[in-house]
Structure formats: structure tokens, C-alpha cells
A and B are shown apart, each in its own frame.
Chain A
Amino acid sequence: MAQVTLTDVNKVYPSRHGPVHAVEDLNLTVEDGEFVALLGPSGCGKTSTLRMIVGLEAITSGTVAFDGQPMNDLSPEQRNVAMAFETYALYPTFTIADNLGFPLDVRNVDKVERKRRIDAVAKMLRIEHLLGSRPRQLSGGEQQRVSLGRALIREPAAFILDEVMSHLDAHLKFQMLFELRRIHQSVGRTTIYVTHDQMEALALSDRVAVMSNARLQQFGTRDELYDRPANRFVADFIGEPPTNFLEAQVDGADGAMALAVDGTDLRFQPDPERLAAIRRDGLKRVSIGIRPQNISVHPGPDKAALTARVVLDEFLGEQSIVTVASGDAQIRLTAPPEFQVAPGEDVTFHYRPSDVMVFDPQTEVFVA
């Protein structure tokens, strides 16, 4: 078990079209026993980061340390981490049982113990019936679980899991997420879990590191990512349906300051704390971010109201997502399923001033 620390880590791949900067100035500390998800869109450098932690890829600059010990020059074997690969990388000539048992075989675990652990892992991953088959006879999702099992069967310093659920159906995914969470709670081993599915990341992890464009955007708990996203990217990436963004002018004098959305007469009224931050930074224009979940058709004592015309009403079973427009601005909001509106009607919606996020329109950094 180990605390994993990345300090100013960079990865540059040479390529025919010039160097590719896959990871830029990454600083990250995963505490001993912590479950951290590395979340980001495709190609943002997640796998590259993992491969440097595991020791499969040379670190261009910076340090990877386990429990404070620099690991840069150690082989994967010496680092003693278990990795499940995005591409499964099963041993094609082995049976599934041998695939699962290979890490134990290498460590000279005796036959009986090996069989016991293979059976336990196979049972947990629902692949007991496949133990005698070869990888090529398995479906993608089955191979993926074998690959996960080959990592979980070990007792490493850290588990490094690269998109281990991408090929599972939703039902199975929930079961596996539950199992993974259960294992983590019982064994408490440091785990770094890569995914581009925010549901997985938020469901499993203690903290989530959001990456984009080779950079770490934010590292925090679920609530921090939700309520205080570091920038527009994080606010946009985390949360489903995606956050509404509106460009607005800071309007009015100190007493009655409001954010007038461009091309419409909508005026948002953030809470005083945020207004103070806008004033402090001397912003004339801002980007407003407000999550569809935080706008509703129900009034409340601490809520402000606005009116706009309905463009689209999408019924999603547990809730409806209503798109309203006013002038050039479009806003999506959530409504209970029994809420009925027709496009073209006006609807009044309500939000809490404290839910209005304000971003600097130039730097896209979270202001308040």
C-alpha cells in the first residue's frame, strides 16, 4: 500500500509530426488507501499518466514517488503495482484461469491457494464458467473482466485500473462498481481508476481528478467539483445534463447589481458573496454557469424568478428537460415528469441565487 505522488510530471512523445505533449505539469497526490478517479475526455493523457505511474513509460520530466520514494528509475516489477489495461492484454495462449493466476504463479503462490484465489476473483467478476476457455473465445466485456481480475487477484502497492468497465452493459457495470467499491472498503488499497464516464468516477471515488488537454483541471471531492468547479471545462464536463453557460454584462450600481444576459432581457441575480467577488475582480463581463438541476419550475422562498419561452420539452422518464429561449439565449432546466408545457408557451422558472456560478469570460476560471 502506498501514497502515490506525482510532482511536475510531463510526458512528451516524439512523433513524425513533432512532439506530442501528452501530460503537462501534473501534480497529484493520492493518499494511501484512497480511491481516486482520473476523469477526462478521450485523448487527454489519462493512460499516459497511468503508464508513467506503473513504469511502462519513461517520465519525460518530474517525479513519481510512492510513499515519498522516487520511482522514476524502477521497473514495473519493482514498483509492485497491479494494472488492468484498456486493451485487456490477456495472454492469448493461456486459459482464463491461467491468465488470472499468472501474477500468483510468478510469485510462487502454491497451487491450492492459487486456485482458491482464482475461484474467488472469478466468482466476484461472474466469470466462473469461463475459467477453462481461452481469451479469444470471450466477448469484449468478458475479456475486460478477466483483465480486471488479473489485477485484483494481486496484493500490490496500488491498483491502477484503466477504463475497466467501458465494455459492460449498464446492469453489469453497476454490479461491478459495487464489487469494486466493496473490495476497496474491505482491503483499503490505493486505487487509481481511469474513466471517461463521470457516473463511474463519482460513484466510486473519494476524490476525482479531472484532466483535459494534458492538464489537470481540478482535483477534489464530488461536492467540490459540483459546487466550485475550477473552470468552465469542469463545470461543463461534470454533471448531466451539461451546465448552461450564458455570456452576460455586469449591470447596475453597487446596490442593485445584476448580470444581464446578452441578446435578451434576462437578468440573473447572484448572491451577495459572488457579487462581491465580481466587484473585487473588477469584471465588466462574465460567463454565467447554472446547472439544469438547479433551475426548476417550482417557486421557493429563497428563489428568484425569470420567464422565457419553451422551445423543447424532452421527457426522460424520471424527469423532463425543458429548453427555454429568450432572445439569443437558450437555457435547459429540469421539471418533474408530470409538468406539461407545449413549445411556444411562456414558462416561469426559479433558481437560487447561490447556484449561479460566475466565470471570467477570458480565462474561463471560476470567479465565485
Chain B
Amino acid sequence: MTTTEPTQAPAQRVINGRASRIDPKDYPDWFKAKRRGGSLIVHPLVPAVMVGLPILVIVAIVIYPTIWMFYHAFHDTNMMSLFSGDWAAVGFDNFGLVLSSDRFLSSIERLGIYLLFGACLQVLLGTALALLLYEGIRNNLARTIILILLVLPMMLPPSIVGVLWKFLLQANNGAINHLLINIGVMEATARIEWLDSGLSLWSLVLADTWQWTALPLLIVYSGRVSLPPAVYEAARVDGASSWRVLSRITLPMLREIIAIAFIIRFMDAYKFVDKVYVMTSGGPAESSELPVFVAFQKGIREFQIGEAAAYAILIFLFAAILVTLFLQYLKRVLRAQQTQ
């Protein structure tokens, strides 16, 4: 009785080479609503400008200077030749100069001391404080307040911290010497020359530790908070002493977290320069210079562009190796977590 109409196939559209059965008018309302404002593209040049400008900026402040640096690392560029434009290619001479200079080698040595007694100690101290804070203080409010107090120094700009500590460490009127005298550790007439050549590096380490210990502390604290409490209950029921719980349970479970805190501190520490500049300017007599500061001095102060570029490349290589190791470690940790 009814005439058999051919069932009408929905209009087929081709999107990305695949047939789509969804008609644009069947798109959900929320989707259509988003498109109602019309097209953003008002002029064919707009996309070009929007992509082009950032590229220009990056080329101008990152790519061009980098290429420039690589170029000049192999030339004898200095103040004179830079302005006259008659620099000459010298091969690896700049690198030879840098690697054989006492200034560089002793700055590396200082970096070693700084990494060991600054960065490493900060992580160890931060870890100890984090665990002490978590285990020792039961009240949540007190914990939060202490945490905020500990983190405060980290929120100051490093240069300000440098200035602050420079004042605190003054030999004659500095607060630290006064404190030592007042608590009776030191004779009233004695002075510790904190910023003199014997101690200047250690003063830098002190100021830096004051500022940055909170970073590993925060990282380890948050790691400790997220450990499963049931495991600790099991350990209590099993009768483990707190020392055994710390060494066999807490620290192994925090191993990756502590390692990551180390790496973050290290990656930050190799480019440590701000406090050096503010507190000691590398001095007295180059006694507290670190590699980045030497590069800075060479390039900006002494205008030995070629040599400074070689410095920068060496530091860059060091950073690249560090980052690669870091990423590899992270990969291993993630893989271990998947299979464990």
C-alpha cells in the first residue's frame, strides 16, 4: 500500500579523507554556540603575524645570539677587533686558553665545593628537616606555619638575599659577628672576616643554603605526605623501631623524590652567579669566582668575546650533560614504577 521510498542516506561529507556522516547542522549545540562568534581570522596576514612575531623574538634573543656565540668562540674577538670587524679564525685556541687557565680550573674546583657543601648539603638538610617536621610535629596548623616560615627565604629574589647577607656578614658591624659575641662564642674584640678571601666562598654557600634549603624540604615533605599511612601502620604492628622504619621504609620509598630534589638543585647550582656578583663580586682577588661568573667577567667586563663564548659553550655542554642524565634517570624511574 505504501510506496517504498528509498531510505535516504544522510549527506556524506569528507573530513580528513574519511567519510563523516555528521551533518554540520547536527553538531551539538554547545559546539555551534562556540562558533557563533564568527571567524577570528579577519585578515589573511593575521595568522602570519601571530606566528611570525614570536619567531622573530626567539630568533632575536635566543637563536641569533647563540649562533653568534658559537661563531665567536672560534675567533679571537675582543673589544678592538669587534668594533673594527677584523677578527680572525683561531680554531680551538679559545678553548685551549680557557681549559689551561688557572682561573677557570680553580673556579671549577670552587664549583665542586659549592655543589658538595652547598647543593648537596641543602638537599640532605632539607630532607632531614622535612622528615623531622612531618614526624615531629603532629599539629597541622603548626606544621603549616613552620613550613611557610621555612619557605619564606626562597621567595626573596636571590640578589636581595645576597645584599642582606652581605650586611649580616660585615666584619665590624655585621649582625652575625655581634651574635657570636653576644652568645659568648667569640671575644668581644675578635672579628671574623666573613667576606675575606679565606671565607668568602663559604659565606656564599651559607647565604645560598639559607635561601634554598626550603626547596628540597618542600619536595621531600610533599613526597613524605603522599606515602601510604597503611604501610606505617603495618610497620608499627610488625614492631619496627623508628630508626628501622626510617632506613628501611621511608628513605627507600623517598629515594626517587630525593634524587629529583638533588637534580633540581644541581641544575640550578651550576649557574649560580647572582649572589656571587652581589656579595663578593668574585673577590677578593678571584677567591670566590664560579665558572658562570668568570664567563660573565670575561665577556662583559674584559670584553674578551671569543674566550667568554668558549666559556659559555663549556658551561652549556656541562648543563646539557646534566640534563641528559636527569632525563635518563627520570625515564628509568618511570619505567621502574610501571613494572614494579
Chain A residues within CB distance 8 Å of chain B: 54, 56, 75-77, 80-83, 85, 87-93, 102-103, 106-107, 134, 136-137, 150, 154
Q: Tell me whether B340 and A102 are in contact (CB under 8 A).
A: no
Q: Tell me whether A82 and B237 are in contact (CB under 8 A).
A: yes
Instruction: For the complex formed, measure the closest distance between the CB of B339 and the CB atoms of chain A, giving whole angstroms.
Output: 7
A367 to B230, CA, bound (A): 44
A92 to B255, CA, bound (A): 12
- Assuming the A-B contacts A134-B340, A136-B340, A137-B339, are A83 and B237 also in contact, with contact meaning beta carbons closer than 8 angstroms in the complex? yes
Q: Tell me whether B230 and A89 are in contact (CB under 8 A).
A: yes
Does chain A have a CB within 8 A of B332?
A: no
Interchain residue pairs with CB less than 8 A apart (16): A56-B237, A77-B236, A81-B237, A88-B230, A89-B228, A89-B231, A90-B231, A91-B234, A92-B340, A93-B249, A93-B255, A102-B238, A103-B239, A106-B241, A106-B244, A150-B238
Does chain A have a CB within 8 A of B240?
A: yes
Residues 275-315 of B at the A interface (beta carbon under 8 Å): none
List chain B residues, Cβ under 8 A from A85.
Answer: 230, 233-234
A337 to B163, CA, bound (A): 92
List chain A residues, Cβ under 8 A from B244.
Answer: 106
Q: When each residue 177-219 of chain B gets 1 if its CB lies under 8 Å from chain A and 0 otherwise, what string results?
A: 0000000000000000000000000000000000000000000
Instruction: For the complex formed, measure the closest distance between the CB of B204 and the CB atoms of chain A, giving whole angstroms.
Output: 37
Does chain A have a CB within 8 A of B252?
A: yes
Instruction: For the complex formed, measure the closest distance between the CB of B257 and the CB atoms of chain A, giving whole angstroms.
Output: 13
Q: Which of A54, A92, A107, A136 contacts B231 (CB 8 A)?
A: A92
Does chain A have a CB within 8 A of B253?
A: yes
List chain A residues, Cβ under 8 A from B255.
Answer: 93
**Known contacts A77-B237, A102-B238; can you find 8 more A-B pairs with CB under 8 A?**
A77-B239, A85-B230, A90-B231, A91-B231, A91-B249, A102-B235, A106-B240, A106-B241
Question: In this complex, which of B233, B239, B244, B255 has the most chain A Cβ atoms within 10 angstroms of its Cβ?
Answer: B239
> Interface size of B by Cβ–Cβ distance < 8 Å?
20
A92 to B253, CA, bound (A): 8
List chain A residues, Cβ under 8 A from B248.
Answer: 91, 102
- Assuming the A-B contacts A91-B249, A92-B340, A93-B252, are A107 and B239 also in contact, with contact meaning beta carbons closer than 8 angstroms in the complex? yes
Instruction: For the complex formed, measure the closest distance between the CB of A190 and the CB atoms of chain B, giving whole angstroms.
Output: 16
Q: Tell me whether A103 and B230 are in contact (CB under 8 A).
A: no
Q: Tell me whether A137 and B237 are in contact (CB under 8 A).
A: no
A264 to B253, CA, bound (A): 67
A89 to B340, CA, bound (A): 16
A57 to B237, CA, bound (A): 12
List chain B residues, Cβ under 8 A from A82.
Answer: 237
Instruction: For the complex formed, measure the closest distance between the CB of B189 and the CB atoms of chain A, giving whole angstroms.
Output: 55
* Closest Cβ neighbor of A137 among chain B residues: B340
* Closest Cβ neighbor of B239 among chain A residues: A77
Q: Tell me whether A89 and B233 are in contact (CB under 8 A).
A: yes
A56 to B229, CA, bound (A): 11
List chain A residues, Cβ under 8 A from B236.
Answer: 56, 75-77
List chain B residues, Cβ under 8 A from A136.
Answer: 339-340
Q: Tell me whether A76 and B237 are in contact (CB under 8 A).
A: yes
A81 to B237, CA, bound (A): 7
A81 to B236, CA, bound (A): 10
Q: Tell me whether B231 and A102 are in contact (CB under 8 A).
A: no
List chain B residues, Cβ under 8 A from A56.
Answer: 233, 236-237
Instruction: For the complex formed, measure the closest distance between the CB of A147 and the CB atoms of chain B, giving whole angstroms.
Output: 8
Q: When each residue 298-340 of chain B gets 1 if its CB lies under 8 Å from chain A and 0 otherwise, what string results?
A: 0000000000000000000000000000000000000000011
Q: Tell me whether A54 and B237 are in contact (CB under 8 A).
A: yes
Closest CB pairs A-B (n = 3):
A89-B230, A89-B234, A93-B252
* Closest Cβ neighbor of B233 among chain A residues: A56
Residues 11-64 of B at the A interface (beta carbon under 8 Å): none
A25 to B13, CA, bound (A): 72
